[in-house]
A and B are shown apart, each in its own frame.
Chain A
Amino acid sequence: MAGLEHYLILSAILFSIGLVGALVKRNVVAVLMSLEIMFNAVNLAFIAFGRFVTPMLMTGNIFVLFIVTVAAAEVALGLAIIIALFRAKESVDVTAVGRMKG
C-alpha cells in the first residue's frame, strides 16, 4: 500500500517540474500550464494529508475544492490577460513584455 510519503514525494516532484516550467518557458500559455501543474501537486499533497492524517474530517477535500475554485478564476483572468497582451504586442513571448506601460 502506497503510504503518505509516496504521495508527498510524488507531489514534490510534480511541484518542482511545474516550478522549472514556470521559470524557463517563454510562452505565457506554457507558464500558465506550469502553474496548473504546481496547483495539482499542492492539491495532491492536501488530499494525501487529509487521507492519512485526518481521514474522518473533510478538511483536506474542502481545501482542495477552494483551491480549484481559485485556480479556475485565475485561468479565466489569465486567458483574458493573454488575449489583451496578444492584441497589444502581437506576441505571447514573456521576453517581449519588458515594460508594463501599455
Chain B
Amino acid sequence: MNVGVAASIAFWIMAIIAVVSALAVIVTRDIFRAALFLILAFLTVAGLFITLSADFVAAVQVLVYGGAISILLIFAVLLTRDVQKGNPSNRMLKPAVFLGALFAATLIVVITNSTWKLSGDSPPQGTTAAIGDALVNSYVLPFEIASVLLLAAMIGAIVVARGRDE
C-alpha cells in the first residue's frame, strides 16, 4: 500500500470522525459530553493537518486547542454549574438548520465548480524551520502585535472575571 492510498484512507476516517463529533457537539443533550466531543473534533482536525503535511500546525492544534482551549471550556462548563440544565436549543432550530444546509450547499457548489490554480510541488519535509524563519523575518510585525493582543486579552480577562467590588 503506497503513501497516497494510506493518506486517502486516513483522510476519510478522520473526516467522518470530525463531522460526526462536530454534529454531536450541537446535538447531544449533555453540555459536558459536548465538550468532550469537541476535544475529539479538535484532535481529528490536528490529524487532518498531518495528512496535509503541516506538522508544526498540527502540534500547535493539539497543544492550544486540545489542551488549553478545551480545558478553559470545561472550566466554563463546571464553573457555571448549569450542567443539569443540559444543552437546549432555542425556537429557531428549524430555520437555522435550513440556513446552515443552504450555506453548506452553496459553498459545496462553488467549491466543486471553481478551477483552482493547483501547484504540483510537494511541501518541504518538516515545516517548523520554514515557519520559524517566516515568523521572525516576513511576519515579525504581526508576531509582535499578537503578543500585545494576548497580553491585553489576559489583563482584560482578569479585570472582567474579578468583578467590581474588590
Contacts and interface: CB of A to CB of B under 8 A. Distances in A.
A42 B57 CA distance: 13
A75 to B, nearest CB: 5
B29 to A, nearest CB: 11
A36 to B, nearest CB: 6
A87 interface: yes
B119 A36 contact: no
Given A36-B38, A62-B135, A10 B18 contact: yes
Chain B interface helix/strand/loop/mixed: helix
A69 to B, nearest CB: 5
Interface string B59-81: 01100110011001101110111
B54 A81 contact: no
A17 B157 contact: no
Interface in A9-27: 9-10, 12-21, 23-27
B161 A26 contact: no
A72 B26 CA distance: 21
23 contacts: A2-B11, A5-B116, A8-B111, A9-B112, A16-B107, A20-B99, A25-B88, A27-B87, A33-B35, A33-B73, A36-B38, A37-B22, A43-B57, A44-B48, A51-B123, A53-B119, A56-B124, A65-B60, A70-B146, A74-B153, A76-B72, A80-B160, A83-B79
